[in-house]
Amino acid sequence: MKLTEWLETHWVAPAYSGGVLAGIALCFFAAATNTMAGWLYALSGTILALLGLGAILPVRSLRNLKIRRLPLTPVSAGDTLTVELEIENPTNAPKTLLQLHDLLPYVLAQPTQTAVEVIAPKSTYHWVYYITTQRRGLYRWHEIQLRTGTPLGLFWCRRSQEVPAKAIVYPQVLPLASCPLIDSLGQDESTKFQSDRIYQTATEGVTRALRPYRYGDPIRLIHWRTSARFDEFKVRELEVITGGQNIIIALDSASRWDEVNFEQAVIAAASLYFYASRCQLEVKLWTAGTRLVHGNRVVLETLASVESQEEVTTTERPTLPLIWLTQNASTLDSLPSRSRWLFFPPLTSGDSQSSLISNFFSLTINPEQALGQQLQRPLR
């Protein structure tokens, strides 16, 4: 098998029909030498000539073909990635009966192939196919194989071309309607731009949203007209002004993680970042391998390529308040003042981690519940 592959990639490898025909030619030649019959010599020579043509023409057919790959548009996990290639035939002869193999990384998808009946002279064949992405990542591959047995199908010839590709699959971004983990940052005394007295006495003009009444809510915040319409109490959520405030979302990528937890943490980091951006906050992302980054595209690319236990470029975390995403409970005690944390209990641990004690606002993720719902859940 290895010999066949070596022959196919370096010269030509006989197909089953080619091997049978070569055996027949040898039999005719042996019979001709035994009987001295000229017609047997002619028949064996004709078959050998066909074999010679069948071995030469596939090699010539794959020459001079040029392959170009169009840039790949980044997508989010779960979306469809579109791959486009152009195969150009610059010669004056048509190229027929080709097989194209795009050798994708196995973690992205299985290698994709297609058959091309003919590429006319001085023309280009467009190959477009689609990949349903399963998980985030930064994927690179570079090899495309062309294979043909044209025109007789007696020998197979395969050649490779270097056509680099880079596909970026962003993590999923959850559409959060609210996020107490970020909203609570505006409740710190040092970050408020209006006094508590304004919020305590405000009844209109600063309403952000309406929500069902919860025990302990002030009666003055009930929106009576909406409550009458829905036949249940609806309470105003007042806007907290946090203009100019800096938020740092920090992913503990230097620690050891369970794979499932780490993927959930990356999704949470992306969702928190974009929620804070929609709230007009100055938000940045920190990882152990990239330090502080900001900007939608840069953040998404960083989260697409981040891995747990990645190489650390800095051992110092920012001194500003963080939203710390971790699976390592020992890191919670060293967070800056007024930080919050998002804790992902190890899946292999029997402890529910409910006994964790911290002075910070916190949210412990339950792997059995939807992440989006938990990010919108009030803090304890």
Q: How far apart are CA 83 and CA 329, in angstroms?
A: 42
Give the separation between CA 341 and CA 380, rounded to whole angstroms. 12
pLDDT of 318 reads 79
- The one-letter amino acid at 26: L
Q: Which of 152-166, 183-197, 311-325, 329-343 has the lowest mean pLDDT?
A: 183-197
Give the position of tokens 């230097």: 254
Query: What's the mean pLDDT in 153-161?
Result: 94
Predicted model pTM = 0.76
In terms of C-beta distances under 8 Å and separation of at least 24 residues, what long-range contacts does 339-344 make, across chains too? 340/181, 340/184, 340/185, 340/379, 342/181, 342/265, 342/268, 344/257, 344/258, 344/261, 344/264, 344/265
Q: Is 202 helix (H, G, I), strand (E, B) or coil?
A: coil
pLDDT for residue 173: 93
Contact 83, 130 (CB under 8 A): yes
Enumerate the domain spans of the chain.
Answer: 2-61, 66-170, 194-238, 246-375
Q: Are 29 and 40 in contact (CB under 8 A)?
A: yes
Q: What residues does 258 pair with on adjacent strands?
A: none
Q: For 330-359, what is each residue's pLDDT tens digit? A: 888 888 888 888 999 987 755 444 444 444
Span between the terminal Cα atoms of the chain, in Å = 64
Give the residue ranges of DSSP H helices in 237-295.
259-278
CA-to-CA distance for 279 and 234, rounded, in angstroms? 23
For 16-29, what is the mean pLDDT? 91
Cα-Cα-Cα-Cα dihedral sign, residues 42, 43, 47, 53:
positive
Question: What is the pLDDT averaged over residues 300-320?
Answer: 84
Instruction: Please give the pLDDT value at position 354.
Output: 45
pLDDT score for 207: 64
Average pLDDT over residues 112-125: 95
Q: What is the mean pLDDT of residues 32-61?
A: 90
Mean pLDDT, residues 147-166? 93
Q: What pLDDT band is residue 187 in, cutting at 50, 70 and 90?
A: low
Q: What is the DSSP letter of 290?
A: T
pLDDT of res. 238 = 63
What's the rounded Cα separation, in Å, for the pair 180 and 338?
14
What are 226-279's pLDDT values in tens digits? 888 888 888 877 654 444 467 899 999 988 999 999 999 999 999 999 999 988
pLDDT of residue 89: 96
> Quick one: angle between helices 259-278 and 296-305, nearest 10?
180
Report which of residues 61 and 348 the model is more confident about. 61
C-alpha to C-alpha distance for 326 and 341, rounded to whole angstroms: 8
Residue 340's DSSP bridge partners are: 323, 361
The reported pLDDT for the residue numbered 195 is 40
236: helix, coil or strand? Answer: strand
Confidence of residue 315 (pLDDT cuts 50, 70, 90): low
Q: How far is CA 78 from CA 74, 81, 133, 137, 341, in A?
A: 12, 9, 5, 12, 27
Radius of gyration of the chain (CA): 33
Tokens of 94: 């048509």
Nearest 5 degrees, angle CA 184-CA 189-CA 190? 100
Is it the case that residue 112 has pLDDT exceeding 70? yes
| Torsion-angle region of 132 (φ positive above 0: left; ψ -120 to 50: alpha; else: beta) | beta
Q: H helices of the chain, where?
A: 2-10, 16-35, 38-61, 180-183, 196-201, 224-230, 259-278, 296-305, 371-375
φ/ψ of 139, rounded to 5, equals -110, 135
**Pairwise CA distance, residues 346 & 142, whole Å:** 37
Average pLDDT over residues 215-234: 80
Range in 201-215, 247-261, 308-322, 351-365 with the lowest mean pLDDT: 351-365
DSSP class per residue in 143-165: EEEEEE-TTTSSEEEEEEEEEEE
Pick the CATH number of 66-170 from 2.60.40.10, 2.40.37.10, 3.40.50.150, 2.60.40.420: 2.60.40.10
Mean pLDDT across the chain: 85
227 neighbors 277 (Cβ within 8 angstroms): no
